[in-house]
Amino acid sequence: MVARPPVKLSIDPMTFDDLPAVQASRACQLHTPWPTHAYQAELETNKLARYLVVRAGREVVVPTPGSG
């Protein structure tokens, strides 16, 4: 077994810059993911919703198919 340094994860508000990673994640998990413009509209106009992403460092964590 190879020792690896610990990875620091954080939960942050989703931003417009996160949309490509979120879209890639949802596309591999869902048969009909939301289109990008739907996420954009939600971030711009829905003041009641909170969308979050998990980051490892500065990168959004994108689960691989079958990982949960």
pLDDT digits (tens, 9 = 90+) for 37-52: 888 999 999 999 998 9
In the predicted model, what is the mean pLDDT of the chain? 82
pLDDT-derived band at 15, boundaries 50, 70, 90:
very high
Q: Output the pLDDT for position 66.
A: 57
DSSP per position, 9-68: EEEEE--GGGHHHHHHHHHHH-SSPPPHHHHHHHHHH-TT---EEEEETTEEP-PPTT--
Looking at per-residue pLDDT, the higher value among 19 and 66 belongs to 19
Mean pLDDT, range 26-32, rounded to an integer: 68
Query: How many CB atoms neighbour CB 68 within 10 A?
Result: 5
